[in-house]
Amino acid sequence: MTRLLLRNFREVPDVALSASGIRIRSADGREVIDGSGGAAVACLGHAHPAVLEAIRRQIEKVCYVHTGFYVGEPVEALAEHLVGHEPGGLTHAYFVSSGSEGVETAIKLARQYALETGQPQREHVIGRRQSYHGNTLGALGAGGNLVRRPPYAPILPQASSHVSPCYPYREQRAGEDDAAYVKRLADELEAEFQRIGPNRVMAFIAEPVVGATLGCQAALPGYFKAVREICDRHGALLILDEVMCGLGRTGTLHAWEQEGVAPDIQVIAKGLGGGYQPIGGILAAGRVVEAIRAGSGIHRHGHTYAAHPVACAAALAVQQVIHEENLVEQVAIRGRQLETALKRRLGQHPNVGDIRGRGLFWAMELVEDRETKTPFAPELGMNGRVKLATYARGLACYPVGGTIDGVRGDHVLLAPPYITTEDEIETIADLMAAGIDDAVKGLPR
């Protein structure tokens, strides 16, 4: 009997014994390709020697210091690496231990910015439906995840509301061109600002490429420019959550670079430490930090493990490898190969409604009927079935979405490590296609 409080008691996970490159080996002797890098985390794959060495060196020097007394050696270097040559005006970094803590930090920083600039009435966050920003109560409150929110709705912070995401596959109307759809979404956001009271909104939060809830859904061109304009006009901050899609995953270092806008606060996590250590954080615009420096001079936030020296050493090594080995460019190249490989095998599959993504961040939306876009019945748990069938063939993919509580659409997500070779991309696409077929064949008749 397990002593662990498992995520799913009907599905006991295998014990991982070792992992290297893009492969994980379990206690029963099986080897599986880590096709989703866990949950889009293992960007360098496993056991990269430069990262292991950096962790070893840091552990021997200083394992832990509290930021009230000291800052670890690699912490400033990591901040400098991330924002030192930042194109978007982000000038400062703050490190925590997870994406959720990063989102909490971002929301609290937006609130403190409102207070420091004499706008105490700004207390409302606008997010989007079918969005996920983390599992802590503040992050769940900002997120519009209909699968995870409802049980906790009564105890979530109330000062948030949600507008439609940019989800062309299901929500762009027949005959509506991209510009008209973007305008409709911008009008909806503007109307929400007006409903709340424009000077009561402290921030709008969104993922540039949505990961866990909409399966690698990028926005249409112009969407984020429109969002940026609305936030600026009403004096609200733009928080971009790049926990999943950031730090090279979509083929540029930051996903927002492809949108032509920069955020006021950016949340980072998974690709920051690549899973070698638990680490997340925020990057903040100079004007936000300056308001605090010139005002109270105190950032009213903190965690015991903020700026953990070993986590920062690991993240610095991960980011240096990405930079020195030109892995962001490599992601763009391999991403085009993965797109082609997936579309060749699954582009006409009767149960794959949409294949979408950017860089090495791709998802398939699973449907019962491709023509009508009818989702699978929720009780089938189709994304979970595909996950198990694909895993049985030797590929780990990540089930996301889920048709629950009015949210339509099961998705499975691929986010292979940036070091994945061309041959391995083909293998991943083969296994993915075979896994979907197996899952469909295994459906109850």
Interface positions with ligand PLP (CB under 6 A): 39, 98-100, 103, 132-134, 207, 211-212, 241, 243-244, 269, 280
Q: Output the smallest distance, CB 99 to ligand PLP, in A.
A: 2
How many Cβ atoms are within 10 Å of 181's Cβ, its own excluded? 19
> Is 19 or 212 the residue whose CB approaches ligand PLP more closely?
212
Residue entry with tokens 């895993």: 391
Q: Which residue is nearest to ligand PLP (CB)?
A: 99
Quick check: 130 and 212 in contact, CB under 8 A?
no
> Is 280 or 359 the residue whose CB approaches ligand PLP more closely?
280
Q: Output the smallest distance, CB 214 to ligand PLP, in A.
A: 11
Q: Output the smallest distance, CB 85 to ligand PLP, in A.
A: 25
Q: Output the smallest distance, CB 213 to ligand PLP, in A.
A: 8
Quick check: 257 and 77 in contact, CB under 8 A?
no
> Is 243 or 288 the residue whose CB approaches ligand PLP more closely?
243
Q: Output the smallest distance, CB 245 to ligand PLP, in A.
A: 7
> Is 212 or 407 the residue whose CB approaches ligand PLP more closely?
212
The β-bridge relationship of strands 352-358 and 201-206 is unpaired
> Is 132 or 204 the residue whose CB approaches ligand PLP more closely?
132
> Is 315 or 431 the residue whose CB approaches ligand PLP more closely?
315
How many angstroms separate the CA atoms of 97 and 308, rounded? 8
Q: Output the smallest distance, CB 277 to ligand PLP, in A.
A: 12
How many angstroms separate the CA atoms of 87 and 259, rounded? 13
How many angstroms separate the CA atoms of 188 and 382, rounded? 32
> Is 217 or 351 the residue whose CB approaches ligand PLP more closely?
217
Q: Output the smallest distance, CB 212 to ligand PLP, in A.
A: 5
